[in-house]
Amino acid sequence: QVDLVESGGGSVQRAGSLRLSCEPAEYHLRGYCMAWFLQAPGKERGAVAIIDSDGTHRYTDSVKGRFTISRDYVKNTLYLQMNNLKPEDTGTYYCAADPRGHYCPFGWDFEYWGQGTQVTVSS
């Protein structure tokens, strides 16, 4: 079991920025695929950014050019830098991790999840 703890959510106005962080309670995430998911109000949870164990990253079209996923192996932390936020980015953001592969495409069934952090973007 890997417990993930997200932080950094909050309320911002349109075009604002936030940085989310995700840390495991007790484990090192080297070798894991990791991702950020968004569950918007009334919608299903979906991945917005994924990073493989080698640092390769991919994004859903709606956040390309605005969001950046990164990982710091020294601090053992996953980040999501969110710039130029829009009201449609509002929702609960979840961190996910999976040790089973070095490459995790969209649609991957991640094994470990955090509890989520709320992001609200006002217009």
Query: What is the rounded CA–CA span in Å between residue 56 and residue 73?
Result: 14
- Please report the pLDDT score of residue 25 as a whole number: 80
Strands (E) located in the chain: 4-7, 10-13, 18-24, 33-39, 46-51, 57-59, 67-72, 77-82, 91-98, 112-113, 117-122
- Please report the pLDDT score of residue 7 as a whole number: 96
Nearest to 76 by CA among 94, 45, 97: 97
What are the residues whose beta carbons fall under 8 Å from the beta carbon of 44, sequence distance 6 or more? none
- Please report the pLDDT score of residue 2 as a whole number: 64
Scan for tokens 């604002």, then name that residue. Answer: 16
pLDDT per residue, tens digit, the chain (123 aa), is 668 999 999 999 999 999 999 998 877 888 899 999 999 999 999 999 999 988 999 999 999 999 999 999 889 999 999 999 999 999 999 999 998 868 899 999 999 999 999 999 999
Query: What is the rounded CA–CA span in Å between residue 23 and residue 39?
Result: 20
Query: What is the rounded CA–CA span in Å between residue 98 and residue 70?
Result: 16
- Please report the pLDDT score of residue 27 as a whole number: 75
- Please report the pLDDT score of residue 100 as a whole number: 84
What are the residues whose beta carbons fall under 8 Å from the beta carbon of 99, sequence distance 6 or more? 2, 31, 32, 111
